[in-house]
Amino acid sequence: MNKKTKWLSGSLVIVVMFMALVISALPRQSTVNAGVDNGYYGKKAKYVFFFIGDGMAMPQITSTEIFKGTLTSDNPMNQEKLSFTSFPNLGMQTTHSSNSFITDSAAAGTALATGHKTDNDVVGVDPSKKIKFKTMAEMAKEKGLKIGIVSSVSLDHATPAAFYAHEGSRNDLYEIGIDMVNSGFDYFAGGSLLQPTGKKKDQTNILDIAKEKGYKIVNEPDAIMNLTEKDGKVIAFRNDLAAESAMQYDIDRQDKTSLADYTKKGIEILDNPNGFFMMVEGGKIDWACHANDAATTVRDVMSFDNAIMEALKFYALHPNETLIVVTGDHETGGMTVGFAGTKYTTAFSMIGNQKLSFEEFDKSIKNYRETVGANDANLEDWLPVLAQNFGLTEFSDFEKNRLQESLSASMMDPKKRIKDEHSYLLYGGYEPFSITVTHILNQKAGIGWTTYAHTGVALPVYAQGVGGELFGGYYDNTDVAKKVMSIMGVEFQQ
């Protein structure tokens, strides 16, 4: 080797070493998805709010804004914006899971919390169920941030679970509960647990295990509101919850603790010099959409928006250190603004006449079935109720026939009902009379539904604050997680 080639090979080694250094210094996430930049290089966000409206996509958002408009003005074209639709940054995320274009909340939650695709039903692990995906909340905790998880549904439900649990199935509820108390996260609030003592109710209560691990369990409304950061790690939920250990639908809530109350309290408890990460789920938007109940849906979107406003108050005090991201995990119900029967018109003020959720209305139908019974059931008995609770006073013959048919179906013992295609398409497994009433009301208002499950459409992602500009564009739900991680200063793990 002569002098010249020696010099050349020497400098080549230096160049290669330099390149290797440059490549290793690049944030990994910026190279994961071609065309999508998930790398944030500015000052990291100290406070991160991740709001997930379960089942909330553009139709739920637009419907709520039209509905809100009916509350403040008689002008039928009035619309009132939700707080987050004024955020300066907007993007779109695709939502498919690794095995379906129609994701469930477990796979979508896993994508949003970890940046990884997995199959429907799977929480925080890969489809083979062998590899655990680290969540952004776990990473943030390792970095010294305090962590809060708030949901209007039970804390072991798929979306909250996706931030702390690693289980093969979302139905492994006891194991998910164990993962929850092992997470060491600082604040859990909203709903309680679906199976605190396991499927057979023969295991140690998860809340007792939580106490051993240093959690304070708080159930009294005043005690919840009096919590401070001095109380340490907390699990807060009221004992007067609705079905399935979830909070009430907002339309039925009355003066009970709201999602905004739990969010505000979370901010007080989590605020500390190292910063915090808080995930807040509006979990019952999804449930109301599964049941095709628009009035209950828009009230829950408004309640979710109230929780976001608490984050905005905090943001106003720390604008250069806070990131707020608001999105959904998938659309539910195939909801839309527009129905064949109402063509180019809508009448959203009609859903404002509904005074209770389908779930509460189901209770009076059950009571009627058990006291009056199939033989004496009469639609006439229900007309004052429909006027009072739904504002429904006029029906076409077609609608009357549907009410009659569904009332008869509701008078059958739920265990003996025919579960054929016809009845599924009409009622989706819900209380036939109840869902027919909300279908008729929604259709009169110009709101359509296509399914009792989820749909596969893309969703909007709204962002405000530190790194918010990263959320512009069209990307995958896994990119949402990678962006948040990057802005929070934690590293996405392959």
Asked if residue 474 lies in contact with residue 91, where contact means CB atoms within 8 angstroms, the answer is yes
CA–CA dist 286, 282 (Å, integer): 8
User: Distance between CA atoms of 30 and 347, rounded to whole angstroms?
Assistant: 46
Q: How far is the CB of 374 from Zn ion (least distance, A)?
A: 36
Which residue in 440, 439, 445 sits closest to 347, CA to CA?
A: 445
Please state, in angstroms and rounded to a whole number, the distance separating the CA atoms of residues 399 and 434: 13
Instruction: Identify residues 317-376 at the interface with Zn ion (CB under 5 A).
Output: 329
The residue (of 383 and 457) whose beta carbon lies closer to Zn ion is 457
The answer to whether residues 90 and 472 touch, using CB atoms and an 8 Å cutoff, is yes
Distance in Å, CB of 105 to Zn ion, minimum: 3
Q: CA-CA distance, 105 to 295, in Å (whole number)? A: 22
Looking up tokens 């005074």 gives 355
Instruction: From 473, 494, 474, select the one nearest 482 (Cα to Cα).
Output: 494
Q: Are 60 and 289 in contact (CB under 8 A)?
A: yes
Distance separating alpha carbons of residues 338 and 324, to the nearest angstrom: 31
CB of 361 to Zn ion, least distance (A): 23
- Residue 58 or 385: the one with the smaller Cβ distance to Zn ion is 58
CA–CA gap between residue 145 and residue 138 (Å, rounded): 10
Which residues within the stretch 131-190 sit at the binding site for Zn ion (CB under 5 A)?
none
Query: What residue has token string 């999804």?
Result: 286
CB-wise, 172 or 329, nearer to Zn ion?
329
The amino acid occupying position 332 is T
**With respect to Zn ion, which residue has the nearer C-beta, 151 or 192?**
151
The greatest distance separating any two alpha carbons of the chain, rounded to the nearest whole angstrom, comes to: 107
Q: Count Cβ atoms below 10 Å from residue 13 Cβ, excluding itself.
A: 10
Please give the residue whose beta carbon sits closest to Zn ion in the complex.
105
Reading the block at residue 81, the tokens are: 């914006």
CB of 272 to Zn ion, least distance (A): 30
Q: CB 329 → Zn ion: shortest distance, Å?
A: 4
Q: Which residue, 245 or 486, has its beta carbon nearer to Zn ion?
A: 245
Instruction: Quote the CA–CA distance of 354 and 441 in Å, as a whole number.
Output: 9
Nearer to Zn ion, 105 or 263 (CB): 105
CB of 457 to Zn ion, least distance (A): 13
- The nearer residue to Zn ion, 110 or 354, going by C-beta atoms, is 110
Contact characters 45-74, Zn ion, x per CB under 5 A: ---------x--------------------
- Using an 8 Å Cβ cutoff, are 126 and 478 in contact? no
Which of 310/329 has CB closer to Zn ion?
329
Are 48 and 277 in contact by the 8 Å Cβ rule? The answer is yes
> What track of x and - describes contact with Zn ion for positions 265 through 294 (by CB under 5 A)?
---------------------x--------
Instruction: With CB under 5 A as the rule, give the number of residues binding Zn ion.
Output: 4
Closest CB 37 distance from Zn ion, rounded Å = 27
Output 54 or 359, the one with its CB closest to Zn ion: 54
Helix (H, G, I), strand (E, B) or coil at 383: helix
Closest CA to 295 of 53, 70, 51, 58: 70
Task: Return phi, psi of residue 463, to 5°.
Answer: -140, 140
- Residue 254 — left, alpha, or beta (φ > 0 → left; ψ -120 to 50 → alpha)? left
- Least distance from C-beta 172 to Zn ion, angstroms? 17
Phi, psi (deg, nearest 5) at residue 393: -125, -25
**Minimum distance, C-beta of residue 161 to Zn ion, in the bound complex (Å):** 11
**Could you say whether residue 105 binds Zn ion (CB under 5 A)?**
yes
Type of residue found at 425 = L
The two structure tokens encoding residue 390: 């739904």
Nearest distance in Å: CB 397, Zn ion: 38
Q: Which is nearer to Zn ion, 37 or 54 (CB)?
A: 54
In angstroms, what is the minimal distance from the CB of 176 to Zn ion?
15
Q: Which is nearer to Zn ion, 103 or 406 (CB)?
A: 103
DSSP helix, strand, coil percent of the chain (3-state; round to 5): 45, 15, 40
Nearer to Zn ion, 133 or 287 (CB): 287
Give 53's DSSP letter.
Answer: E
Distance in Å, CB of 158 to Zn ion, minimum: 7
- Residues of this chain that bind Zn ion (CB under 5 A): 54, 105, 286, 329
